[in-house]
Amino acid sequence: MILNLNTVPALAWTPLEFFSPVWEWGTPVKQQLLAMDTGSSVTWVTCIGSAFQAGDYSYLKSTTCTLVTCADPGCVPYGTLCVHQAAECPFTLKYFSSVASVDGIFVKDTITFSENLSVPSMMFGCGFPKAPIKEDFSGTGVMGLTNHPLSMASQFGSVFSYCIGNMHDPSYGFNTLILNDGLLLGNSTPILNILSKIYVNLQSITVRGEVLDINPIIFDRDITHGGSGTIMDSGSPKTLLADVAYNALRDKLKQIMAPVSAEAMCFYNLQPSQVPEVEFIFEQGAKLSLGMGALFSPGESSPRVQCFNGVKPTSGMSGVLGNVTLIGINAQQFHNIGYDYNAGKMYISMV
């Protein structure tokens, strides 16, 4: 099932670059805008009544909606929250990159993916966010794409892919998500799903073909500490680099280029030809090739100023993220990213 993420371009792109499928939910249909997130386990939409997140889906008004009870097999992962078998199946989600949490109940309803495709009885969450889930995100929920049984990916066979082009062009019309039978192109690399996060084995970072002096152990997941390892996360716009990796990449780019602001790594009237190619090299040879669009974004003060996308985990997040490296959607531009959870592999192909 091939889905164009830019069917409604004005809705499928937001200032912080969350790519969001626009689908219709329930009967009568209500259009929903979801953040496409490989770091989230559950697909959910905001129910009417949330003061923190837009949304007009109401399970009470949809004629095709049925409530999921604690007796439903689909509720098993959340059974510890159940009061009794006849009760509504509840859920609570927390997002480690913010203070946001979402409480809600699971329902089943019809989702209309396109004019010719409607799927009845899809299970998803009806959420009541307690705070905005992502800064400046104007959508109505999250599309979970992990290997969790209730994620959208798992409900469509655990094989999917997406291809994202120019993140900074809202009129770019070729962003594509394929569910149920993804395009698995290019070299593959092993993945490990832990606590609804996709861990990969990042082995090195190169600039103009030169391998940076970074001990690869910094990218490894330490099973004794949750705050380490390398995560692929389409729900995060920026890329978080472990301190050692961030410093090495920043210093190399500063050596080659001449930033206006050395601390913020900002450049005035930056051109693609001035930006050296940066590559993230994974186990078994898969790689992400990062050019200007992936490494830099327009600054807040002026669109003529471009600032480095790589960031360190902030002090407010260090207790959760620690020495983690998180590869966000910006770094995945101009690549087809395919996942096969059944085989435990991710495929990367530059387009």
pLDDT, tens digit, for every residue of 29-85? 988 888 889 988 889 998 876 666 677 888 899 999 999 999 999 887 776 778 888
Question: Which pLDDT score is estimated for 165?
Answer: 83
User: Could you give the CA distance from residue 5 to residue 36 in angstroms, rounded to a whole number?
Assistant: 10
Domain identity same for 144 and 196: no
Q: What angle do CA 179, 184, 188 make, to 5 degrees?
A: 130
Domain identity same for 26 and 148: yes
Q: Of the candidates 338, 332, 29, which has an alpha carbon nearest to the alpha carbon of residue 158?
A: 338
Domain identity same for 122 and 264: no
37 belongs to the catalytic site: yes
290 is in which domain, residue-wise?
Answer: 187-350
Question: Which pLDDT score is estimated for 13?
Answer: 35
181 belongs to the catalytic site: no
Question: Which pLDDT score is estimated for 196?
Answer: 81
Q: Of the candidates 233, 200, 189, which has an alpha carbon nearest to the alpha carbon of residue 327?
A: 233
- Which two tokens mark 239? 């890329």
Beta bridge partners of 207: 210, 278
Q: How many domains are there within the chain?
A: 2
| Residue 128, phi then psi, degrees to nearest 5 | -130, 85
**CA 332, 333, 339, 344: dihedral to nearest 10 degrees?**
-20
Last residue of a domain, one of 179, 206, 237: 179
Domain identity same for 106 and 199: no
Domain identity same for 101 and 9: yes
Query: Which residue do the tokens 């280029």 mark?
Result: 257
The per-residue DSSP string of 228-260 comes to -SEEE-TT-SSEE--HHHHHHHHHHHHHHS--S
Contacts of 336 (CB under 8 A, 6+ apart): 161, 162, 163, 183, 185, 186, 347, 348, 349, 350, 351
SS3 content of the chain, % helix, strand, coil (to 5): 15, 40, 50
CATH of the domain at 252: 2.40.70.10
Which residues of the chain are under the pLDDT cut of 70? 1-21, 49-53, 79, 96-100, 131-138, 170, 223-227, 259-264, 313-322
Residue 272, helix vs strand vs coil: helix
In the β-sheet with 210-211, what is the strand arrangement from edge to edge? 210-211, 202-207, 278-282, 287-290
Domain identity same for 40 and 12: yes
Domain identity same for 116 and 154: yes
Domain identity same for 191 and 150: no
Domain identity same for 174 and 204: no
Last residue of a domain, one of 127, 156, 179: 179
Question: Which pLDDT score is estimated for 12?
Answer: 38
Task: Please give the DSSP secondary-structure letter assigned to residue 330.
Answer: G
Question: Which pLDDT score is estimated for 319?
Answer: 45
Domain identity same for 162 and 244: no
Domain identity same for 43 and 122: yes
Catalytic residue among 233, 243, 251, 340: 233
Last residue of a domain, one of 132, 160, 179: 179
Residue 103, helix vs strand vs coil: strand
Question: Which pLDDT score is estimated for 8?
Answer: 37
Question: Which pLDDT score is estimated for 304?
Answer: 82
Domain identity same for 36 and 74: yes
pTM of the predicted protein model: 0.87
